[in-house]
Amino acid sequence: MKANQQFHRSTMVTLAKDTAVSLSVGVIAGALLAVTLTKKKSTPPIRGPSNKPWRMSKWVQHNGVVRTQGLVGDPDKSAAEQTQEALDKLDEILQEAGLTRAHLISVTIFIADYDNKFDEMNQVYDAWVDKAGLPTRLCVQAYLGPKYAVEIRAEAWCED
Name the β-bridge partners of 152: 71, 109
Q: What is the reported pTM?
A: 0.72
Interval 85-96: pLDDT, tens:
999 999 999 999
* Exposed/middle/buried for residue 118 (C-beta within 10 Å: 0-12, 13-18, 19+): middle
Task: Give per-residue pLDDT as tens, 111-139.
Answer: 999 999 999 999 999 999 999 999 999 99
Say whether pLDDT at 36 is over 80.
no
| The Cα angle at residue 118 between residues 156 and 143, in degrees rounded to 5 | 80
Cα–Cα distance, 73 to 77 (Å, whole number): 8
Mean of pLDDT values over 12-17: 49
